[in-house]
Every structure is written in C-alpha cells, then in structure tokens.
Structure 1
Amino acid sequence: MRFRYLRYFLEVAEEGNFTRAASKVNIEASPLSRAIKELESQLGVQLLYRAKGRIQLTWAGEVFRDEAQRILAFVESAQARVKAAEQGYRGQLRIGLCDGLAQPNLTRLLARSREEEPRTEIRIVEMPLSKMLKAIKLDQLDAGFTIDNDSVDGCFTTPVWAEQPAFAIPARHPILTFDRVPLSEATRYPLIMCHPERCASGHKTIQRWLRDSQQDALIVAQHVSSHEPMMMLVAAGYGIGIGLATQVNLFNHPDVISRPILDEGLEVTTFIAASSQRQVPQELERFTRRAQEIGGIFADN
C-alpha cells in the first residue's frame, strides 16, 4: 500500500470532491479517482459513495480515515524523530495549541525547557480544539494546551496556570470612566467575540460568564480567532474586546486601553491535556511540572 494513496484518500475525505482534492495534492482528478479505486481493491472494501458529484464516506471509509491518519502520523513522527536524532536530540514532544494561547507564560515555559532539556525537541502545532483532542487520541500529539476542561473525553487534564480576563477598549470610549469595568456595562456596546468554532474554548468560556451574569442581549460586531485581530478591530473602533489580560497587554496598541473586569470569579485556568489511554512520556511529565512551577499557584499540587 502506497503512503501517497493514504494522503489522497484523506484529502478526498476532507474535501468531499475529487476536483478540489486533486488540486490540493497536485494531480488530475482522473488519476486521483483511479488511485482511490486501487486502494479500495487492495482493501477489498468500498470506502466512498459516489453519486451525482457528491462524495461520502462509507462506514468502512470512516474507520479507514482514522487508521490512515494514525498510520501517516506514525510515519511522520518516525521521520521527525530520525531527523531530530541526527541533529543531536534525544527526545521529542509534540504539543498542540488552540484558541491563540501563545502568551508570556508559554514563552517562558518553552525558553526554560530549551535551557533545562536542550536535547528534547519541542514541536508546537496550532489547531482548533476539536482537532487537537482528536490528534492527541490518535497519537499525533503528545499533549495540548486548552482552557476548556469540560470537552476533553479520552484525555486527562492538568491545571498549569491561571489568569485574569480584561476588556480591550477603544481609546476615548465612554466606558473608560470605569477603572474596573462591569460586564453589564460592557455588554451595552458592540463586542469583538471569540469565534465559536476556531476559538471554541474562549467562546464557551465567555458565553458562560455572560450567561451567569444574565447578559443575554448582545451586539456582536465581529468574531475573531485570536487576540491579534481582536486588537486590530478594537483599535479601529469596531467594538470592545474580551481576552486574557496578559495577551491584551502583549498585543499593546496605542489606540487600545486595557481595563480589568469588575465581576468576580472570572479567572481563566489553562490546562495541559494528554491521552488517558497511553503512558505519559517522562519528557511530558517534566514539561508539565515546569509549567506548574511557572504558574506558581499549582506548584505544590
């Protein structure tokens, strides 16, 4: 079985269309279709339903999609480990990152890991939460960072640090009369909100705050997937942004003022999620311990 056929099949499964899949793998649609038929012949099963230009996976196709992802992840991991070994590394950690959580604590963690364990290669991969959790379960990642501790079936989570949220407010906005802004005041104005899919954890967290404080009638000006576009839109006057105080300050902008949120109980905890079905690598144990030490409040747990 040829590895490229597995990649072809995964692209067809993702796109649901031979023409679009063919353009992504740089071949014509006809040879792509023949490759999939050859793959089906080798397996002795039908992987796809083909009807009126629409492509759907059979049940066997859905099962094979997961196995193909696992096979390719194993091969890619082996290649990466061999290359890393050639460069002098002795270990490797594949870490997922969702919801744009690149921030000062993570920077300090990576810098300290390089200093204390320079022979362990750390690879950071950004992706949505749902894909990150699936990649962890399929052994495509060793662990991932998330602020959602509720939607992690098949994984266990370890709290590593906690942060306070803040509003990002356009300069000269009337709400700047508050030193600490109540949610009830901010929600009177248009908001820049986390995207419900690309930034699912942040969106879920903010929705819970608004629900708990009984803020229902919202004006959402834009949805964003990270702090950087949020700050751009806030600076342009589109609305008030909600984010982690550390990241609002990290993406400092002269036309944006940061204000803490008055309401209590809105602390945001970051977790490291890892598979509950596999033994935790020693490199990941040390990485998690460093994260807790950087977070401070969990260092003694």
Structure 2
Amino acid sequence: MIELRHLRYFIAVAEDLNFRRAAERVHIDQTPLSRTVRDLEDQLGVQLFVRAPRKLHLTPAGLRLLQDARKIFIRIERTYRAVRETDARFRAPLRIGVADGIAQPKLSECMVRWREVAPEIPLELTEMRASELADALQREELDAGFSFGLPDDEALAQQPAWSYPVMALLPIGHELAGQSVLPIADVLAFPLLSCHAERQPGLLRQMQVIVDRYTSTPTLSGEACT
C-alpha cells in the first residue's frame, strides 16, 4: 500500500535529483530512501527515474507523479489548517445578544442546556436594544440573539425559540380581573398601556398584530418606560 512517506521521499528525490541530498533533506539514510522509492515503483508498476551514472532523471510517469504528489500534500495541508481553524472556532465563546428586555425562565433553561451539551465552550451574554442586536449580528460581532422579533432582513434568519400566552395586567378591583380567561375584544374595550417603541420594538410589533385583528383604533393611555 502506498503511504504518505513514499510520496514524501519521492518528492525529495524528484526535486533534488540526487539520493544523497534527498536523504539529508528527509533525515534518513540513503539506503532506506532508495529502497522506499523502489518499493513505490514496484507498487505503481512503472519506472519513475532513469538512473544513469552520476545522473538521475524523471521519466514521464515520474513527472506526472511529482505534479500529483505535490497537489496531494497541498490538499493535506489545507485540510490540517481547516481542521485547526474549526477547532479554534468551536473553542471560542458563543456570543449571544439579548434584546427587548428578555430575562425569562426559558432563556435560563437554554443557557443551562448549553452548559450540559458543550461545557467546554463559554457563553458571553450581552444586553442591548433590538436595533443594536440587528447591527451586531450583521457585523458578525454576535453568533445569535434573542428578542421578541426584529424587522425583516434578508441578512438575518429568525426562528421562534419559545412562546408564552398573552397575559392581561389589570388593576386590583378591575371589572375583568376576576376572570380566568379574557376575550381579547373585551380587553381592547379599555385603554391600553403600550410597549416602549425603542426598547421593545419586537414585542410592540407582536402586540400590534394581535390588536389589529380586532380593531384599527385601539385606545392607548400611554407607553411603558421600560
């Protein structure tokens, strides 16, 4: 079976056209080097060198093998480099951006699960606004992010991570407060407190989609500061 050492020794001899210099180059004695080249010729069934007194030439088959053998080692080196780079990437921290004030149990569960799956890879969590999250993802300063949704952008892929039921926050004593399930139409009959447009744009868009199904003119009493 042809091994990499056969090709490595062959390249040394083919480039130096001298067994003594080639042996020094690959740090072995001349005899085992010559024997390895002969073994390569036997396995291929061709003559790679024309051996004349004080002179060594490559045959056409030897020239072809030299070209292909060099390409093989170039590809091997590229593979080594790609594997090392991949390993380095997987050892780098996983950079996560968190926007829209998401600090929920589900996010904590995701972090715990990640520690179980890849304990050797650290996590870096950064809180930011949704607009900053989108910019950081496009600049590849983050690997992923969590928000209530970003504006549609071909450069970003958005996938649902989890969902929660819509909850109504009502003052104590409100006429709807005693009900376990509230029709959204009943809630919209009262003034609403809106999400902050800059701090929680994704959540605001989701709520607008729900509200628009029932009314085009909701009554807003104000905007939350956080």
Scaled to the shorter chain, the TM-score interval is: 0.5 to 0.7
Structure number with higher strand proportion? 1
Matched residue, 2:122 = 121
Report if the CA contact (8 A) 1:96-1:125 is conserved.
yes
Q: Which runs of 4+ in 1 moved over 4 A?
A: none
Matched residue, 1:200 = 201
- Between the aligned partners of 1:108 and 1:163, the Cα distance in structure 2 is 15
Matched residue, 1:219 = 220
- Between the aligned partners of 2:131 and 2:223, the Cα distance in structure 1 is 22
Gaps of 5+ in 2: 1-87
Count of residues in correspondence between the two structures: 138
- Between the aligned partners of 1:207 and 1:91, the Cα distance in structure 2 is 39
Identity of aligned residues (%): 27
Question: CA 1:149–1:138 in 2, change beyond 3 Å: closer, same or farther?
Answer: closer
Query: Given the two structures, how large is their TM-score scaled by the length of structure 1?
Result: 0.42
Report if the CA contact (8 A) 1:97-1:126 is conserved.
yes
Report if the CA contact (8 A) 2:193-2:220 is conserved.
no
Report if the CA contact (8 A) 1:93-1:123 is conserved.
yes
CA deviations 1:172-194 (Å, max 9, x no partner) are 21112432112222223332221
Matched residue, 2:91 = 90
Matched residue, 1:257 = none
Matched residue, 2:62 = none
Matched residue, 1:152 = 153
Give the counterpart letter for 1:123 in structure 2: E
**How big is the shift at 1:215?**
4.9
**How big is the shift at 1:134?**
0.7
What are the within-5 Å matches in structure 2 for residues 18-33 of structure 1?
none
- Between the aligned partners of 1:139 and 1:150, the Cα distance in structure 2 is 18
Larger radius of gyration: 2
Question: CA 1:131–1:182 in 2, change beyond 3 Å: closer, same or farther?
Answer: same
- Between the aligned partners of 2:107 and 2:123, the Cα distance in structure 1 is 12
Matched residue, 2:5 = none
CA deviations 1:146-174 (Å, max 9, x no partner) are 33265233111233222221112222211
Report if the CA contact (8 A) 1:192-1:221 is conserved.
yes
Give the counterpart letter for 2:132 in structure 1: K
Question: CA 1:157–1:150 in 2, change beyond 3 Å: closer, same or farther?
Answer: same
Matched residue, 1:41 = none
**How big is the shift at 1:108?**
0.8
Query: Given the two structures, how large is their TM-score scaled by the length of structure 2?
Result: 0.55
- The reply to whether residue 162 of structure 1 matches residue 200 of structure 2 is no
- Between the aligned partners of 1:215 and 1:180, the Cα distance in structure 2 is 23
Which of the pair has the greater relative contact order for Cα pairs under 8 Å at 6+ separation? Answer: 1
